[in-house]
Amino acid sequence: FGSCVYRSRSVQYSSQLRSSTTLTMSTEQPSAAACVPGGKCVPCESLDKSHLLSPQQVESELASMQLWKLSDDNTNITRTYTARNFQAAMDSLNAIGVIAERENHHPDMHLTGYRNVEIVLFTHSLGGISLNDITMAKMIDDEVRFSYSPKWLRENPAAKKD
Ligand SMILES: C[C@H](O)[C@H](O)[C@H]1CNC2=NC(N)=NC(=O)C2=N1
């Protein structure tokens, strides 16, 4: 997933003595990179308005992602679920957080009523939806092992993973 090309190493030179320069290699945190389908990543900063998806484009992407909905104002995609319990909700948020940090593309996450979760994805730098958000949604669906409320799962069979 998202084999992002990170600007991996920053080289800091600090000359301690005039006669020698200490070369300290430090590996930066993975740089700003957001992923688009196909595992290619583009740095967040390289996105511009041309990367915004139209509502039609979003809807066609979401046709195969039934757990996600396009917001009424077309500015984000959301996924809501009820976890089995508070810990399961927290575990899912933390798992999503790992993906978000890895991809440097972060959802808004809301936990209410101790186990009702809403995940909201949009590209902050554009104020709308880009392919990065679609990719993140797919990664969340594919990689996170959710523990749902059995009642919720019965009511949302699309969430069932075989
Ligand atoms: C500097 C940093 O890479 C950027 O702010 C990243 C961080 N995470 C992000 N997450 C989201 N959803 N949208 C962004 O534009 C974004 N940009």
Q: Residues 44-60: pLDDT tens digits?
A: 677 888 889 999 999 99
Report pLDDT for 47: 83
As beta bridge partners, residue 80 has 118
Ligand 1 neighbours by CB, cut-off 6 Å: 32, 44, 104-106, 123-125
Rounded to the nearest angstrom, the distance between the alpha carbon of 121 and the centre of ligand 1 is 11
How far is residue 18 from each of residues 14, 21, 25, 63, measured CA to CA in Å? 10, 7, 19, 63
Which pLDDT band, with edges at 50, 70 and 90, does 43 fall under?
Answer: low
Instruction: Work out the average pLDDT over 111-139.
Output: 96
Total residue length of the chain: 162
Pocket mutation for ligand 1, best pick of 124, 129, 132, 136 (most atoms within 8 Å of C-beta): 124
> Residue 13: is its pLDDT beyond 80?
no
Report pLDDT for 77: 98
**Which has the closest alpha carbon to 82: 150, 142, 161?**
150
Closest ligand 1 atom, residue 136 Cα: 12
> Residue 136: is its pLDDT beyond 80?
yes
pTM of the model: 0.78
> Residue 9: is its pLDDT beyond 50?
no
In a 13 Å sphere around the CA of 118, the CA atoms on its Cβ side amount to 11
